């Protein structure tokens, strides 16, 4: 699995190792901040951040698109719109398939995996549309219409499946390691 760097360089995470004393600019950077080592990986439009607590050994991972409008949590992918926008009436379509009402999936996601830190009772979604991971894992694009008044928006998934697989191989396993 190759990770891209903004400079155009590519790196194999299993081969490249950077010590805490390495100060060179690298596609796989290691930072130390108050006992936490943070690594950043890039694969096309996706970014993976891995934070390892050097004292406790706890690993926290964050996987999101570079523009942070698409985020991963265990079991689902969130697509962000402005926080003030209520997306409870949103519809989504994966790779040109049939349109699905997100509200129909809301309860299932809530019961099983995803925690919703919504905007309150007047806007419980806080502008995020959650889609089950199984629906988007191999997708190329997800099209979402946030409500009846707004135009649809296309989110490119690109290398999502590859970076998620690589994340699990670089220490972001078990799924509880992922945070957002």
Is the four-CA dihedral 137, 140, 145, 150 of positive or negative sign? positive
Question: What per-residue confidence (pLDDT) applies to 13?
Answer: 40
Domain borders along the chain are: 3-66+159-177, 70-156
Partnered with residue 79 across adjacent β-strands are 70, 129
Beta strands of 84-159 (E only): which ranges? 91-94, 100-101, 128-132, 141-145, 153-156
Is 63 in contact with 165 (CB distance < 8 Å)?
A: no
Query: Could you report the per-residue pLDDT of 55-77, keeping only the tens digit for each?
Result: 888 888 999 999 999 999 888 89
Q: Is residue 9 over pLDDT 50?
A: no
Contact 2, 11 (CB under 8 A): yes
* CB distance 24 to 137 below 8 Å: no
Q: How far is CA 113 from CA 77, 117, 137, 167, in A?
A: 11, 13, 16, 19
In this structure, of 3-7, 75-79, 93-97, 142-146, the range with the lowest mean pLDDT score is: 3-7
Q: What is the pLDDT of residue 67?
A: 92
Q: Are 69 and 80 in contact (CB under 8 A)?
A: yes
Instruction: Give the pLDDT score at 114.
Output: 57
For the chain, percent of residues with pLDDT exceeding 90: 28
pLDDT over 90 at 103, yes or no: no
- The CA–CA distances, whole Å, from 66 to 58, 70, 154, 159, 172 equal 24, 8, 15, 12, 19
Average pLDDT value for the chain: 76
Cβ neighbors of 114 (< 8 A, separation 6 or more) are: 73, 75, 76, 78, 130
Neighbouring C-beta atoms of residue 177, cutoff 10 Å: 19
User: Is the CB of residue 88 less than 8 Å from the CB of residue 106?
Assistant: yes
Closest by CA to 5, choosing from 37, 40, 52, is 40
Mean pLDDT, rounded, for 95-103: 88
Span of 26-35, 123-132, 136-145 with lowest mean pLDDT: 26-35
Q: Check residue 32 and give its pLDDT.
A: 54
**Mean pLDDT across 140-151:** 92
């Amino acid at each position: 699995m190759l990770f891209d760097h903004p400079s155009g360089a590519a790196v194999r995470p299993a081969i490249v190792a950077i010590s805490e004393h390495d100060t060179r600019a690298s596609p796989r950077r290691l930072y130390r901040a108050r006992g936490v080592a943070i690594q950043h990986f890039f694969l096309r439009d996706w970014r993976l951040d891995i934070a390892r607590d050097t004292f406790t050994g706890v690993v926290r991972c964050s996987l999101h698109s570079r523009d942070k409008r698409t985020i991963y949590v265990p079991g689902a992918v969130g697509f962000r719109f402005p926080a003030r926008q209520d997306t409870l009436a949103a519809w989504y379509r994966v790779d040109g398939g049939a349109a699905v009402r997100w509200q129909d999936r809301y309860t299932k996601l809530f019961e099983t995996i995803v925690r919703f830190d919504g905007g309150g009772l007047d806007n419980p979604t806080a502008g995020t549309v959650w889609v089950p991971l199984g629906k988007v894992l191999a997708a190329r694009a997800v099209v979402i219409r946030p409500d009846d008044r707004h135009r649809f928006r296309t989110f490119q998934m690109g290398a999502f499946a590859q970076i998620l697989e690589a994340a699990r191989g670089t220490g972001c396993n078990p799924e509880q390691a992922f945070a957002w």
